[in-house]
Amino acid sequence: MNASRAPSRRACFGSAAALAFAVTSSAGAQDLAAICRAASRVTVGQWASYDVAGELEAARMRIAIIGSERRGDTTLYWLETNHSSPDPNRNAILQVLLADFGTATPAVRAIVLKFGTGPVQHMSDQMVQSLGAGMVQDPAIDVVARCATAPVVGWETVTVPAGALRALHTKDKDGGDLWLSADVPFGLVRQQEKGQGGLMLTGYGSDAKSSIVEPSPQPDAAPH
């Protein structure tokens, strides 16, 4: 063989590395797609709780599916976000009734709020239509929205208060990091925002109920 035409060892190694990277990237994308599909499928009762980093005081957040409603051929889900802190006046509960859950832009059909020790507030249909999805900033929705375009770093073992979990490390468009797992409701194990704190999983389960237990002036507007 003509030595001038023989591939160099460096070229062979380079080709092998490129092939290995392509295979790994493809596998990572497939793993991410599977996690995204799992995160978009929800059942009533599922919940996940998190320590909230970056707060001035210790804070926790629980996200949960606390109910559902059937309207025509569509199932709508009540998604609750319960933000709690040592100061009861800083607590906040947001319940939203969502259509098209599992998409990047679910439609909001109803909103129930409770701030601190104040009364339960049911937003009018006009206010719901005015605010829409802009009112809802929830990790459960963010994970689904970011899933399709998140660059994959790779599988890692992540230690969080809930334990040591195998999770897929991804990046987001804002420079933050997400660790995701199909074994956790809503998919989120850890979130590290760039310079803005983040979330760490403390527990999860399938027995969630509404955090609003006091009598409501509109008992049919929220799940029980």
Q: Could you read off the pLDDT of 95-115 as tens digits, one per residue?
A: 999 988 877 678 889 999 999
DSSP string, 179-192: EE-TTSTTSEEEEE
pLDDT band per the 50, 70, 90 thresholds, residue 8: low
Helix axes 139-147, 9-40, angle to 10 degrees: 140
Give residues with Cβ within 8 angstroms of 121, minimum separation 6: 112, 113, 114, 115
DSSP secondary structure letter of residue 2: -
Mean pLDDT score of the chain: 81
Instruction: Provide the b/e sequence for 83-96 (b: ≥16 CB within 10 Å).
Output: bbbeeeeebebbbb
pLDDT band per the 50, 70, 90 thresholds, residue 136: low
pLDDT band per the 50, 70, 90 thresholds, residue 49: very high
pLDDT band per the 50, 70, 90 thresholds, residue 137: low
DSSP string, 29-72: HHHHHHHHHHHH---TT-EEEEEEET-SS--EEEEEEEEEEEET
pLDDT of residue 145: 76
pLDDT of residue 194: 78
pLDDT band per the 50, 70, 90 thresholds, residue 22: very low
Query: Is it the case that residue 55 has pLDDT exceeding 70?
Result: no
Q: Which pTM does this prediction carry? A: 0.79
Task: Give the chain's length.
Answer: 224
Give 163-215 pLDDT, tens digit per residue: 999 999 999 877 889 999 999 999 999 999 877 778 999 999 999 999 998 66
Give 156-171 pLDDT, tens digit per residue: 999 999 999 999 999 9
Of the chain, the percentage scoring pLDDT greater than 90 comes to 46
pLDDT of residue 123: 87
